[in-house]
Amino acid sequence: MCQLLGLNCATPTDASFSFTGFCQRGGGTDHHADGWGIAFFEGKGLRLFVDPLSAAVSPIADFLQHYPLKSKNIIAHVRKATYGEVSLQNTHPFTRELWGRHWVFAHNGDLHGYEPYLHSHFRPVGTSDSEQAFCWLMQELAKSHAALPSIEELTITLRELVPQISQFGTFNFLLSNGEALWAHCTTKLHYLIRQHPFAQATLMDRDWTVNFADLNQPGDRVAVVVTTPLTSNEQWTAFEPGQLIVFVDGTPLP
């Protein structure tokens, strides 16, 4: 299994607090030591860092914890390999281009006997069940819409597609195209919204407290989605099994 972290924000946001706590789970406070990755959208542009080392010891992860890249949509992953060897090609997040946008996907869970019919042009590079599921999602989205549809239309299509994968096992995932963050839970996923009035937060996995009131403006708003809560003194909401939530500008859409 693995752990997921996603941020969707109203304004470009520095994720180093959440990412630092999250990295400890990549071989430090938890056993997800088979690689890690993080993707930052900047407008339509994308930075993707992937590394087969453990996040707790990776020099690149250490660098990024101290070099704050601001982004409105961020997806990170620490991996505990189940299907697919430990290698760069199997390291999440995965990315593909569709309709002139980058798409980023990370998955937590196992899919059993999942062999999707990939008849179109999205093919896995690696050997993980996760990348197969992502390629199938991209293929079916491409068949469903001729060009980039609205976030609402995409969400309707995803609600039709996702159960066709999650019947094969655990399919907690994060997906973003830089405009929105889609988060789906079959077993475990939590979120919170940080907004005005901002308060203090203390990491669970490392001795670090910040007062977000000192760092944010009233118009800032951040949705944080994570497998298990990152902080000990904030109110996290658990997803329901089967729930797909789409976040835009730091807010879950109804």
Residues lying near a copy of itself in the complex (CB under 8 A): 42-52, 59-60, 63, 67, 87-91, 96-102, 120-126, 142
Cα–chain center distance at 7: 8
In terms of phi and psi (left: phi > 0; alpha: psi -120 to 50; beta: otherwise), the region of 193 is beta
Catalytic site includes residue 2: yes
Residue 241 and residue 239: Cα distance in Å, rounded?
Answer: 6
**Identity of the amino acid at 49:** F
Catalytic residue (one of 2, 9, 23, 185):
2
Provide the minimum distance between the beta carbon of 229 and a copy of itself in the complex, in angstroms, as a whole number.
30
Q: Are 47 and 69 in contact (CB under 8 A)?
A: yes
**Helix ranges, 97-170 (H):** 129-144, 151-166
Query: In this complex, which beta carbon is closest to a copy of itself, that of residue 40 or of residue 198?
Result: 40
Provide the minimum distance between the beta carbon of 186 and a copy of itself in the complex, in angstroms, as a whole number.
26
Provide the minimum distance between the beta carbon of 158 and a copy of itself in the complex, in angstroms, as a whole number.
19
User: β-strand 70-79 against 36-42: which pairing, if any?
Assistant: antiparallel
Query: In this complex, which beta carbon is closest to a copy of itself, that of residue 52 or of residue 250?
Result: 52
Provide the minimum distance between the beta carbon of 122 and a copy of itself in the complex, in angstroms, as a whole number.
7
> What angle (nearest 5°) sits at the alpha carbon of residue 225, between those of residues 41 and 218?
75
Phi, psi of 162 (to 5 degrees): -60, -40
Residue 127 and residue 148: Cα distance in Å, rounded?
Answer: 28
User: Which residues are annotated as catalytic?
Assistant: 2
